[in-house]
Structure 1
Amino acid sequence: MPPSPLSKSDFETLSHFRYQLRRFLRFSEEATHRHGITHLQYQLLLHTRGFPDREWATVSELAERLQAHHHGVVSLISRCEKLGLVQRQVGRNDRRAVEVHLTPKGNDVLNALAGQHRDELLKLQGIFRVPGADELDAGAGTGKR
């Protein structure tokens, strides 16, 4: 059975979600720019420190988290390394792997920015939310297509 067509309400819900997402991303771009880094560099720092159960991540893990190609992440790491934000280390379990660790400077920048991002997310509580199936199916069976 083909999916049912979207209703006007579905389009409005999807539009509102994308609008709120874009507002948050713009905030992030401006905040990172004020700290002298790009939003991608911030995301690299965040995913490195935020990797589950440890304080570092491999290049492959960061590529997955950033949804980017391996070679692009290697270039991003190199730029962060030149800024003194991260350092590479040979993998402790697999010497072919490269571990990415934050430097003290990287931690300082991340702490400042992550605090601002947390505060901005808290301001968006109740405004920025993922629409549920009940909202996206709002026009189903009502003839409002």
Structure 2
Amino acid sequence: MTTDGGRVGSKRLTKQDFEELARFRFGIRRYLRFSEETVRRHGLTPQHYQLMLALKGFPGREWATMRELAERLQLRHHSVVELVNRAQKQELVERAPDPTDARAVRVQLTEHGQQALAQLSALHRDELRRLGAALTLPIWDEPSDKGQGGGA
């Protein structure tokens, strides 16, 4: 907890700053709750959706290694292995050997996973459009250098 009196740099946070932060936090929470409930209604866990989105959204290719997924999902390697195991049992993803590195395994979406992800992601996109302004980042004034000693 901070004891600097609500300062950002050398500028005190205003009532409007707190309202903007609260609005943005509320928008994020509304979106996450929508996501969790929507995914569960479709028979999946939020973690499965995040896994599938990480795979489909991986830059430049349609697969990722366990290590890359751990980074993208911000999970430990063993947690990703368990998540992939569960997703594989639901036929959402499949493993394939990496032809360039015998130590690595590629994880990729199955056709079933592709279809589920497409349906869920369209719903998520529509919700983001609906939320609109609630998820607009707060705009902060740049802290003033007045009184900081600098000078030109």
**Interval containing the TM-score (normalised by the shorter chain):** 0.7 to 0.9
TM-score, with normalisation over the residues of structure 2? 0.82
Q: 1:115 aligns with which of 114, 122, 146?
A: 122
Q: Distance in 1 between matches of 2:48 and 2:69?
A: 11
Partner in structure 2 of residue 84 of structure 1? 91
Residue 14, structure 1, aligned to residue 13, structure 2: no
After superposition, where does 1:51-130 map in structure 2 within 5 Å? 51-130=58-137
Identity %: 50
Residue 27, structure 1, aligned to residue 24, structure 2: no
RCO (CA 8 Å, sep 6+): is it higher in 1 or 2? 1
Bigger Rg, structure 1 or 2: 2
Q: Distance in 2 between matches of 1:132 and 1:95?
A: 48
- Count of aligned pairs: 136
Q: Distance in 2 between matches of 1:25 and 1:97?
A: 32
Q: Work out whether residues 24 and 134 of structure 2, in 8 Å CA contact, stay in contact via their aligned partners in 1.
A: no
Residue 3, structure 1, aligned to residue 4, structure 2: no
Residues 88-144 of structure 1, C-alpha deviation per residue, up to 9 Å, x if partnerless?
A: 11112211111101111111110110110111111122331111223x86xxx9xxx
- Stretches (4+) displaced over 4 A: none
Q: Distance in 2 between matches of 1:120 and 1:131?
A: 20
Q: Work out whether residues 62 and 108 of structure 2, in 8 Å CA contact, stay in contact via their aligned partners in 1.
A: yes
Partner in structure 1 of residue 44 of structure 2? 37
- Structure 2 portions without partners, runs of 5+: 1-7, 147-152
Residue 46, structure 1, aligned to residue 53, structure 2: yes
Q: Distance in 2 between matches of 1:92 and 1:48?
A: 18
Q: Distance in 2 between matches of 1:118 and 1:40?
A: 18
TM-score, with normalisation over the residues of structure 1? 0.86
Q: Work out whether residues 66 and 106 of structure 2, in 8 Å CA contact, stay in contact via their aligned partners in 1.
A: yes
